[in-house]
Amino acid sequence: MSKRFLLLTLVGLLVLSIAPMLAVAQDDDTITIGFLPGVVDPFYQVMEIGVRQAVEDSALPVELVVQIPENFNPSVQTPILDALVARGDLDYLIIAATDKEQLIAPLQAAHDAGIEIISVDTFIGDGDYVNGPVTFPLSYIGSDNVEGGRIAAEALAENVGGTGKVYIQNVTPGISTTDQRAQGFREGIAEFPDMEVVSEDFNNDDENTSVQQTSATLERESDLVGIFGTNVFSANGAGIAVQNAGLSDAVDVIAFDATTFAVEQLRAGVVSLVIAQKPFDMGYLAVQFAIAHNQGVSSLPKRVPTGYAVIDIENVDDPEVARFIYQVE
């Protein structure tokens, strides 16, 4: 055997023996992040754009696993979460929990399996990840929803001259965000002695249900002056019902979430205020938090409120405001 052949054989054997180690080393460097939002809607679609942009901008290798539930429901979201944990490769999970109590145990199990949890949009427990009953998630990045409800109440009260009956079109009890929006709204309306919240309905995140419930309320409460729609489908349905009843001049609608449909209704005079959240920022920051944590940053804030853009007919064409409309195309 020639010396040259012997040398090549030895190098070949060496490469073969360390190749698996090299592969493992490469895998270990990749940060694997799961993204599990609440449902398919324009709000979470924009959040996903933010998530993907942050992954693209990352100087470090990131693998992203996205799973989107068909319905906004903990019994749909939990098995998807369990399956993500069962993959065994996630380092981080960015999740909008669809129920503040029911998702605690499955997320605790994910955390026990070694996955770091970042809450976006919604929280679990009471959302206080420093002193509250649930502290294991790394952070809660999302709107201040009590404040959002108060913004809605103050605008509505001003529009109707501080007097009259109002109605809340809501999603499902137990969702942290929409519970807090209704709470903030009720607190805001309570400051006006001549105003009253006559009722609140829950549409289970279904626009048609929102239309039906709002239409029934409009028939029952002939002197209703305003409606707060607490999210995309609640607000869409409320607006459609008011429009169908020909009551756009008599009933003021405040829409939470800046879909293009809500903005159309603003221009049509059905909706008077559109409250835009910042889902892109939520998604982008969440990925950056995961990467920072992976790199050893140990003092990430446990709560990051992302703020609002409040859109009305006066400012809807201002590019600095219009950029917060949820554009998904």
Binding mask 249-288 for ligand T6T (x = CB under 6 A): -------xx-------------------x-----------
Smallest gap from Cβ 274 to ligand T6T, in A, equals 12
Does residue 210 touch ligand T6T according to CB under 6 A? Answer: no
Question: In this chain, which residue has its C-beta nearest to ligand T6T?
Answer: 232
Burial of 59 (0-12, 13-18, 19+ CB in 10 A): exposed
Instruction: Give residues 214-253 in contact with ligand T6T (rule: CB under 6 A).
Output: 231-233
Decide: 242 and 251 in contact? Cβ < 8 Å: yes
Nearer to ligand T6T, 48 or 121 (CB): 121
Smallest gap from Cβ 29 to ligand T6T, in A, equals 34
Smallest gap from Cβ 163 to ligand T6T, in A, equals 29
Nearer to ligand T6T, 119 or 178 (CB): 178
Nearer to ligand T6T, 32 or 236 (CB): 236
Smallest gap from Cβ 219 to ligand T6T, in A, equals 26
How crowded is residue 107: how many other Cβ atoms within 10 Å of its Cβ?
24
Smallest gap from Cβ 41 to ligand T6T, in A, equals 4
Rounded Cα gap, residues 195 and 217, in angstroms: 17
Residue 120 CB-half CA count within 13 A: 30
Pick the piece of the chain touching ligand T6T (CB under 6 A) from 36-44, 58-66, 211-219, 307-315.
36-44
- Residue (of 261, 300, 244) closest to 119 by Cα position: 300
Block residue for tokens 């398919």: 40
Adjacent-strand bridge partners of 199: 167
Instruction: Give residues 157-196 in contact with ligand T6T (rule: CB under 6 A).
Output: 175, 177-178
Instruction: Give residues 99-128 in contact with ligand T6T (rule: CB under 6 A).
Output: 121-122
Sheet holding 195-202, edge to edge: 195-202, 164-170, 224-229, 252-256, 271-276, 309-311
Residue from 35, 43, 129, 202 in contact with ligand T6T (CB under 6 A): 43
Sheet holding 139-142, edge to edge: 62-66, 31-36, 92-95, 116-120, 139-142, 303-305
Q: Compute the Cα dihedral for 265, 232, 146, 36 and give only its sign.
A: negative
Residue from 31, 33, 38, 141 in contact with ligand T6T (CB under 6 A): 38
Nearer to ligand T6T, 121 or 293 (CB): 121
Q: How many residues bind ligand T6T (CB under 6 A)?
A: 15
Smallest gap from Cβ 68 to ligand T6T, in A, equals 11
Smallest gap from Cβ 168 to ligand T6T, in A, equals 14
Rounded Cα gap, residues 173 and 99, in angstroms: 8
Smallest gap from Cβ 44 to ligand T6T, in A, equals 6
Smallest gap from Cβ 37 to ligand T6T, in A, equals 8
Block residue for tokens 């999210």: 231
Listed in sequence order, the DSSP H helices in the chain are 3-29, 42-57, 74-87, 104-112, 145-159, 176-190, 207-220, 232-244, 260-267, 279-294, 319-322
- Bin 291: left if φ > 0, else alpha if -120 < ψ < 50, else beta: alpha
Residue from 35, 41, 141, 227 in contact with ligand T6T (CB under 6 A): 41
Binding-site ranges for ligand T6T (CB under 6 A): 38, 41, 43-44, 121-122, 175, 177-178, 231-233, 256-257, 277
